[in-house]
Chain A
């Protein structure tokens, strides 16, 4: 079946380091991807999105890279801070007209001060 998966369930980094969170997707027809951040006990928050006609998009301290050849998505966080500690999900646009996202397994990012 179609799915969006994550390579690493947990990522531990030191404060100030750069973090890279990966995501693999299997639906080659997906054309829109979003990264969400979920802090403990809260709902997910939008971080950044990218369409399939792009391979890179930058935001504030975050960069999303899309490699359609290998169906891989990554989220890079520069100068990681303790406040970045959360679970990060990628989501892809499921085909069918209206947007119904499929969420990946999630990666827990732990930032050590």
Chain B
């Protein structure tokens, strides 16, 4: 099956620092990756669609300068939470589509805690 690796799984940082989260497709190429945010006991909220070699497409209400997305290769997308604050604490999940079946393969998620 398709494997998506997300790192780190958990990060605790001080307010004002930036945090980078990596999402890798290990055994397939992904021209499109997705970044989600999930609050406890709630559904996944799509933040942005990451396209290899081009700018990410952000959902309404998501600050692109706050959540920087880079998709430099067909197997790697990164999400950087800049100048993180406690309200940015959340569970961030990435996913990638493999071929044209439109099935999303998800990473294990990153638990971000901003103190």
* Chain B residue, CB-CB nearest to A108: B41
Name the B residues within 8 Å of A49 (CB-CB): 101, 103
Tell me whether chain B's interface is mostly helix, strand or loop, or mixed. strand
A105 vs B45: C-alpha distance when bound (angstroms) = 10
Within 8 A of A (CB), among B52-73: none
Interface mask (A77-111 → B, CB under 8 Å = 1, otherwise 0): 00000000000010101000011111111101000
Interface mask (B75-115 → A, CB under 8 Å = 1, otherwise 0): 00000000000000000010101000111111111010000
Interface pair B108/A89, CB less than 8 Å apart = no
Asked if A41 CB lies within 8 Å of chain B CBs, one says yes
Choice from B32, B43, B93, B97 contacting A104 with Cβ under 8 Å: B43
Given contacts A100-B46, A100-B49, A103-B44, contact A43 B93 (CB under 8 A): yes
Asked if A45 CB lies within 8 Å of chain B CBs, one says yes
* Chain A residue, CB-CB nearest to B101: A49
Given contacts A98-B32, A100-B49, A103-B44, contact A43 B102 (CB under 8 A): no
Residues of B in contact with A, size category:
20 to 34
Interface pair B43/A101, CB less than 8 Å apart = no
Asked if A34 CB lies within 8 Å of chain B CBs, one says yes
Given contacts A98-B32, A100-B49, contact A45 B106 (CB under 8 A): yes
Q: Which 4 A-B pairs have the closest CB atoms?
A: A43-B106, A99-B102, A103-B44, A103-B43
Q: Which residues from chain B sit less than 8 Å from chain A, CB to CB?
A: 4, 6, 32, 34, 41-44, 46, 49, 93, 95, 97, 101-109, 111
Q: A43-B107, A98-B49, A100-B34 are in contact. List 18 more A-B contacts (CB 8 A).
A: A34-B102, A41-B111, A42-B109, A43-B95, A43-B108, A43-B109, A46-B103, A46-B105, A49-B101, A89-B44, A93-B102, A98-B32, A101-B104, A102-B46, A104-B43, A105-B42, A105-B43, A106-B43
Q: Which residues from chain A sit less than 8 Å from chain B, CB to CB?
A: 32, 34, 36, 41-46, 49, 89, 91, 93, 98-106, 108
Q: Can you report 9 residue pairs joining A to B where beta carbons are below 8 Å apart? A: A34-B102, A41-B109, A42-B108, A43-B4, A43-B6, A99-B102, A99-B104, A103-B46, A105-B42
